[in-house]
């Protein structure tokens, strides 16, 4: 694809798709993990910080105060399931599968959240050895993300944005 390599303006990352944030306010593919923040169903001031690593699917789910989630002892808990579901909404199943390197990545159709979770569970993933540290990192990423809301708009010219044309209709 010579045209692609010689273009200044190719879209490398597709635009995220809109989704409702009430249950899972944050999800991202970063640092080699699918990671996110899931609201607690019972306590409005508590969130669960969930993650699944790319490749070996080592998982972690702990509260924002870094206490272990009771549901994530032997395998994926409901929070991780909800996070996978919202990641598929936001990024599309194909991109999530590719990032996590699941077997479903090879198929023609984009895998559903259920197929992704089932494929990962079938590999009998383990709790991440560094679950506590990962939780801290993911929560910090979430807070950093929230900080974007506090940054003011500006009417100063921003010529660098010409390298980021709007991505148009979402594929």
Partner 1 sequence: MMRADLLTGELPGLDEALAAVDAFDQVLAGGLLRPQPAQAAGLTALANAVAGSPIAALVAEAAEKAAAGVAGEEHLLALAAGRTALFGAVHDAVVARVDEATGRPREATPPFEPGAPLPANLLASARAWLCDVARAGWRGLDHELAAGAAQVVSALLPAPELRRLAVLLDGFAAELAASCPGRTLGRIPLRRWADLWARGMLLTQPGAVTGAGAGAETAALTGRLLPLGVDLHEHATAVHAQVHAVFEPADGGPARLVRASVSAPKPDTVVGAGVWQLLRPHLSLLAAAGEGHAMELTGMPVTDEGDLLWSEERTRVDESADVFTTARVALPTVRAGATAPLDRHPARIAEPVLVEGYTVDRSGDEVAFVVGGERLAVDTGRLPAASPLTAQAVAGSRACIGLLRWDAGRFLLQPLAVQSAAKSRTAVVQAGAWAGGTADKSGAKAEKAATDTVTVLRERAGRLLRS
Residues that bind partner 1 in the complex, under the rule CB under 8 A? 1, 3-13, 15-22, 25, 28-32, 37, 39, 44-45, 47, 64, 90, 141-149, 151-170
Nearer to partner 1, 19 or 71 (CB): 19
Nearest approach, Cβ of 162 to partner 1 (angstroms)? 5
DSSP label at residue 51: E
Nearer to partner 1, 109 or 158 (CB): 158
Nearer to partner 1, 8 or 74 (CB): 8
Instruction: HSE, CB side, 13 Å, CA atoms: give it for residue 11.
Output: 11
Strand order in the sheet with 47-53: 26-30, 33-39, 47-53, 59-63
Nearer to partner 1, 25 or 136 (CB): 25
Nearest approach, Cβ of 73 to partner 1 (angstroms)? 25
Non-local (6+) Cβ contacts of 38 within 8 A are: 23, 24, 47, 48, 49, 50, 79, 82, 83
């Amino acid at each position: 694809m010579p045209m692609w390599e010689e273009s200044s303006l190719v879209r490398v990352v597709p635009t995220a798709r809109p989704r409702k944030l009430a249950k899972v306010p944050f999800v991202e593919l970063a640092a080699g993990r699918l990671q996110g923040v899931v609201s607690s169903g019972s306590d409005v001031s508590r969130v669960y910080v969930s993650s699944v690593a790319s490749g070996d699917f080592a998982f972690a789910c702990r509260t924002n105060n870094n206490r272990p989630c009771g549901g994530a002892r032997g395998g994926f808990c409901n929070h991780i399931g909800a996070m996978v579901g919202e990641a598929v909404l936001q990024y599309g199943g194909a991109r999530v599968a590719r990032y996590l390197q699941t077997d479903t990545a090879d198929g023609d159709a984009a895998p559903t959240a259920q197929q992704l979770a089932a494929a990962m569970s079938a590999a009998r993933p383990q709790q991440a050895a560094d679950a506590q540290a990962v939780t801290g990192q993911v929560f910090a990423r979430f807070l950093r993300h929230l900080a974007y809301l506090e940054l003011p708009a500006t009417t100063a010219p921003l010529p660098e944005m010409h390298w980021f044309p709007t991505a148009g209709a979402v594929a």
